[in-house]
Chain A
Amino acid sequence: MTTASWERTFGELCYGGSYVPESLVHVLDEVQKAFLTAIDDPAFVSRLDKLHREFGGRETPTIRADNLSERWGTGLFLKREDLVHGGAHKLNSTIGQILLAEYMGKTRIISETGAGQHGVATAMTAAKFGLPTDVYMGVVDIERQHSNVRRMQLHGARVIPVSTGRGTLKDAINEAMRDWITNVGESYHCFGTAAGPFPYPSLVKHFQRVIGDEARRQMLEGHGALPTDVIACIGGGSNAIGTYTAFLDDPDVRLWAAEPAGTGLDGTNHAAALTRGSVGVFHGMKSLWLQNEDGQIAPTHSIAAGLDYPGVGPELVELMERGRLGVITVTDSEAVEAFEVLSQAEGIIPAFESAHALAATWKLAKEDRDRTMLMCLSGRGDKDLESYWKLSEGNDE
């Protein structure tokens, strides 16, 4: 019996699927078969577990944010994925995927990154495995996440700037896919989120569900009850699906997605695909996309590079459409305010991405105080300090 929850498509509209050039069909098939074999192989599972503990620093705690809980008059718990080695949940997936790449006999890793967190996690994991790595990154993201670029390079990865489009995550994924189409034999594409062609949405979810599995147990053990609300930020959605999965069969636990509203939902200066997207096919999957009426993918914006993506993982769309997942949009400035609030009240600097989740949590707390909220603090904010300081200086002038 397989241990993975494994779906090619989600819901009646068949979100997901595998819309790729013919050259990748065979390659994705190979990834799927290797994955299904590996996760039932005790040797693979025990190495994965050891890597999580010794390299990743798992398990991470779920803590009660006492000061904010008191201030908001509600229970607020934080799942501390910011404490994972490298500073974000991304390592959960890169450990699993690169172990799989090695299992498959691949000798080179291709990746893409937005905020740089997935790139850093890929680079540090690949360094441990001794595999050469090329990370594609948009020039705009290179500019706003420069410290992560240097970290990737320190780990020995080559960071390849992508100047097409708006020079952000979507464009980096385009280039990574082109590389993969070209170098199908020896390369493994370490995909950054629970999106893209089958089997990636299920594969990444499998490696990320450790977040929710741990958090659910920790809530029961530490707090004696499940949360009433579970909140996560959504770019592609890997920390979100990783957090939600353990709670899908708990009907009283409400699930919430914090979506990036950028400078506002009017126009194209946001990346709120769940709220404003329409059904389309891109980057290997049928999902909701921000696009024009002709099917050209729209430019997007979020202050959080990791959320600055025009689409969203297919399983999240299905969860939203059947009413299992609520969506709260958060603007750049609301996220920055939440960034300051957590830094000051709890002594934790969140990533701009995770600050979106906190801002959404804050909105829920204002609505109804009688809640126990579990939020995935997906990453730490050191990488965003430069941007934050620039912003504050700009506001002072």
Chain B
Amino acid sequence: MNRFHTLFRDPDARAFIPFFTLGDPDWETSLRIIDSAVQAGADALELGFPFADPISDGPTNQKSMARALRAGSTFDSCTLLVAEVRNRFPELPISLLLYYNLLFCQEREGYRKLAEAGVDAIVISDLPMEESAYHVDCLKSNGLGCVHMVAPNTPRDRARTLFDESDAFTYVISRFGTTGADSRLSDATIEHVTRLRAVTEKPYAVGFGISHPDFVRQIWDTGANGVIVGSHFSSMIEHNPDAPEVAIEGICAFIAEVKSHSEARPVTL
């Protein structure tokens, strides 16, 4: 059974899902960061394989991926890192985020390796539904969950299909643009995310631009089942090149604060 199904069994679940680039800033430190984030209360993980030309990513995650690649990250080293995380946290839902070429080049064998490492689900940032037949087939034959993305300009009917075709959960992109921490949460984002709750009862997680514990709470309050924060953490890693423990402390404090909100449902009058 896919671990995300367990996580989202409760339709009122408020999951917090941090994103980390695997191997940033290096294999060992990356493991420490991920380990600490889970200890601090992360409900699931979204882990990215570094790609040198990430067109959906803003400068922060571009730099994060560049650091990981400079430190020698490869498909196999990232898979090994995932396997180690799985080894430490047998029940934790783990999803991967990749650019398609990284998986396409591995062919079917790559999917088998990821399943063996303990991955639950995979989202591809540059693979729309129309091109995904082979990918979906490989996921299914390896028992991996399929996560489609829904964008602000995805028409309602198409969104419904994407929700229906997703297994595990659906990744809702909060706004137009690349990944990156925003200083505020726009009204358009709140409206877009709120509207989707009426489209599906299936679980979805919202990502892109979310950088403050209050934003996480506001997104949860719209009825979203999960919130993903990535660039904000990559930026902490970037700004503490010689002191990863400072980044870890910041990440854990963020997660602890977020989790203190997660129990409280919004009061409806």
Most buried by A among B62, B101, B103: B101
Contact of B127 with A19 in the complex, beta carbons under 8 Å: yes
Residues of A within 8 A of B173 (CB): 22-23
Contact of B53 with A280 in the complex, beta carbons under 8 Å: no
Residues of A within 8 A of B41 (CB): none
B244 to chain A, nearest CB (A): 24
Is A67 an interface position by the 8 A CB rule? Answer: no
Is B51 an interface position by the 8 A CB rule? Answer: yes
Q: Given that A165-B53, A295-B105 are contacting pairs, would A281 and B152 also be in contact in the complex, using a CB cutoff of 8 Å?
A: no
Q: Interface readout for A19-38 with B: 1 if CB under 8 Å, 0 if not?
A: 11111011100000000000
Contact of B128 with A280 in the complex, beta carbons under 8 Å: no
A366 to B51, CA, bound (A): 44
Is A393 an interface position by the 8 A CB rule? Answer: no
A165 to B149, CA, bound (A): 27
Is B246 an interface position by the 8 A CB rule? Answer: no
Is A181 an interface position by the 8 A CB rule? Answer: yes
Contact of B176 with A182 in the complex, beta carbons under 8 Å: yes
Q: Given that A23-B151, A23-B152 are contacting pairs, would A182 and B178 also be in contact in the complex, using a CB cutoff of 8 Å?
A: yes
Number of interface residues of A (CB under 8 A): 34
Contact of B105 with A280 in the complex, beta carbons under 8 Å: yes
Judged by DSSP, the binding face of A is: mixed
Q: Given that A21-B126, A23-B176 are contacting pairs, would A296 and B100 also be in contact in the complex, using a CB cutoff of 8 Å?
A: no
A19 to B132, CA, bound (A): 9
A178 nearest CB neighbor, chain B only:
B178
A185 to B178, CA, bound (A): 15
Contact of A26 with B55 in the complex, beta carbons under 8 Å: no
A198 to chain B, nearest CB (A): 9
Contact of B105 with A294 in the complex, beta carbons under 8 Å: yes
- How many inter-chain residue pairs (CB < 8 Å) link A and B? 101
Judged by DSSP, the binding face of B is: loop
B78 nearest CB neighbor, chain A only:
A294
Q: Interface readout for B76-96 with A: 1 if CB under 8 Å, 0 if not?
A: 000000000000000000000
List which B147-170 residues lie within 8 A (CB) of chain A. Answer: 148-155, 158, 162
A173 to chain B, nearest CB (A): 8
Number of interface residues of B (CB under 8 A): 37
Q: Given that A18-B128, A164-B62, A281-B101 are contacting pairs, would A181 and B153 also be in contact in the complex, using a CB cutoff of 8 Å?
A: no
Is B235 an interface position by the 8 A CB rule? Answer: no
Contact of A170 with B53 in the complex, beta carbons under 8 Å: yes
Residues of B within 8 A of A22 (CB): 128, 148-151, 154, 162, 173
Is A392 an interface position by the 8 A CB rule? Answer: no
Contact of A181 with B55 in the complex, beta carbons under 8 Å: yes
Contact of B53 with A282 in the complex, beta carbons under 8 Å: yes
Residues of A within 8 A of B69 (CB): 296
Is A293 an interface position by the 8 A CB rule? Answer: yes
Is A372 an interface position by the 8 A CB rule? Answer: no
Most buried by A among B51, B148, B150: B51
Residues of B within 8 A of A145 (CB): none
A295 to B153, CA, bound (A): 30
Is A183 an interface position by the 8 A CB rule? Answer: yes
A347 to B128, CA, bound (A): 50
Contacting residue for A26 out of B53, B126, B153, CB 8 A: B153
A280 to B105, CA, bound (A): 7
Is A184 an interface position by the 8 A CB rule? Answer: yes
Q: Interface readout for A190-214 with B: 1 if CB under 8 Å, 0 if not?
A: 0000000000000000000000000
A294 to B51, CA, bound (A): 10
Q: Given that A18-B130, A22-B128 are contacting pairs, would A181 and B178 also be in contact in the complex, using a CB cutoff of 8 Å?
A: yes
Most buried by B among A18, A25, A164, A185: A25
Residues of B within 8 A of A27 (CB): 153
Contact of B102 with A294 in the complex, beta carbons under 8 Å: yes
Is B254 an interface position by the 8 A CB rule? Answer: no
Q: 4 tightest A-B contacts by CB? A: A295-B105, A182-B177, A23-B151, A22-B151
Measured CB to CB, the residues of B under 8 A from A are: 51-53, 55-56, 58, 62, 69, 74-75, 100-106, 125-128, 130-131, 148-155, 158, 162, 173, 176-178
Other A-B pairs beyond A178-B177, A181-B176, 8, CB < 8 Å: A19-B131, A164-B62, A280-B104, A293-B105, A294-B75, A295-B75, A295-B103, A296-B69
Q: List 7 A-B contacts (CB under 8 A).
A: A21-B128, A22-B162, A23-B173, A25-B130, A281-B126, A283-B55, A291-B105
